[in-house]
Amino acid sequence: MSASEPIAPADRTTYSKEISRNRRKSFGLLTFFVVLILLVGIAIDVLIGGGLYIAVFAFVIAVAMAFFAYYKSDAVALAATRAKPADPVEYRRYHNLVEGLCIAAGLPKPRLYVVDDPAPNAFATGRNPEHSAIAVTTGLLEMMNRVELEGVLAHELSHIKNYDILVSTVAVVAVGAIALLCDIGLRFMVWGGLRRDRRDNIDAGPIGIVIAIAAMALLVLAPFAALLMQFSLSRKRELMADARGVSLTRYPPGLASALRKLQTDQAVVHQATRATAQLWIESPLDREEGHKGAKLNSMFDTHPPLAERIEILESM
C-alpha cells in the first residue's frame, strides 16, 4: 500500500481512540506533577515555613511558563536548533513525501524545516496538528533513501497526530516548575536555616525528626522522580510512534533500515541540548559518553535503545 492511499475506517477509529487515550494520559501526567508540587510545598513549609506562599509563587511561574510553552514551544525549539524553512524546490522530495503521508493520515501539512547539520536526525514540534512543524537535518536527507526517509517522516507525523508534542511540552514545563521549587526550598534551608518554631517542632521528638528528614529527602528526590516520569513517558511514546508510523507507510523495513543507519552513525547534533533531546527521533546527544560505566544512566535516557526498536519493527 502506498503512503498516499487513505487509511481504512478501522484504522481511523484506532487513531481516534489513541488520541483520546493520549489526552487522558496528559491529564494524568499533569495531575501527578501538580500533586508532586504540592508535596514539595508542604515539605518546604515543614522545614522553613512559608512553603505554601512559595508554592503559590511557583504555580504562578509554572502557569506563565505553560502558556508560553503552549503557544511558543515550536518557535523556541526551531530557534534553538537554528532550523530554517525548507524551500519547496530545493527540498522537493521532502515536501512530496510529507504531503503524501498527510493525505494518508488525514492531517494538515505541517510547516517543514531543515537544520544544517551532518548528523542524521529529525523532530516534530507544536501544540496540535494545525500548529505543528517538522524539522530534519541535512545529514538525514543525504543519508536516507526514499523509503527510509518516508519511514522517519511517518514517525514524526505520528507524534503530531497522537498529540505527543503537547504531552512533551506539559512534561518539560512541569519538571522545570518542580526543579525551581525544590531549588528555592533547599537554598532557603541552607542559607537561612530552620526557623525557630520549626526547630522547636523538630526537636519535640522522634516524629518531628522523621518528618524533617522525609521533607528534606523529598526536596532532593522530587526533581529526579519528575525526570524519570518524563523520560519513561518519552520512551513509550517513541515506540508507539514507530508502530503508528509503520501503519502509515505499510512498510516496516523502511523505518527499520533508517534506524539501523542512525544506530551506525555516531555523530551528534551540534545544536541539540538535553532540554530538546526528547523531541528527536533518536537521542541527538553523545550516546557513548552518556553510558560510560553506568547502567543506571539508561533510566534517564529519553529514547528506548535503537536495537530494541529495530527488533520490534523486524517482527512486524
Strand 131-137, strand 111-115: pairing? parallel
What pLDDT score was predicted for residue 136?
96
Better-predicted residue by pLDDT, 5 or 33: 33
Asked if residues 127 and 165 have their Cβ atoms less than 8 Å apart, the reply is yes
Q: Give one DSSP letter per residue of 178-198, joined into a string.
A: HHHHHHHHHHHHHHH---HHH
Residue 13 clears pLDDT 90, i.e. is over it: no
pTM of the model: 0.74
pLDDT tens, residue by residue, 270-315: 776 666 777 888 888 765 544 444 444 555 567 888 999 999 999 8
What pLDDT score was predicted for residue 30?
65
pLDDT tens, residue by residue, 213-268: 777 787 888 877 777 766 666 777 888 889 889 989 999 999 999 999 999 987 78
Can you tell me the distance from the alpha carbon of 215 to that of 230, in angstroms, rounded to the nearest whole number?
A: 22
What pLDDT score was predicted for residue 122?
94
E strands along the chain, which residues?
84-85, 111-115, 122-128, 131-137
What pLDDT score was predicted for residue 10?
45
Can you tell me the distance from the alpha carbon of 209 to that of 211, in angstroms, rounded to the nearest whole number?
A: 5
Tell me the C-alpha to C-alpha distance, in Å, between residue 12 and each of 19, 101, 248.
10, 14, 11
- List helix spans (H) across 203-295: 206-249, 252-264, 287-290
Q: Would you give the distance in Å from CA 144 to the centre of its chain?
A: 24
Of 150, 156, 238, 282, which is the active-site residue? 156
Query: What's 297's DSSP letter?
Result: G
Can you tell me the distance from the alpha carbon of 29 to that of 228, in angstroms, rounded to the nearest whole number?
A: 12
For residue 156, indicate whether it is catalytic: yes
Q: Would you give the distance in Å from CA 117 to the centre of its chain?
A: 21
Can you tell me the distance from the alpha carbon of 237 to that of 253, in angstroms, rounded to the nearest whole number?
A: 20
Can you tell me the distance from the alpha carbon of 76 to that of 74, in angstroms, rounded to the nearest whole number?
A: 5
Can you tell me the distance from the alpha carbon of 24 to that of 224, in angstroms, rounded to the nearest whole number?
A: 24
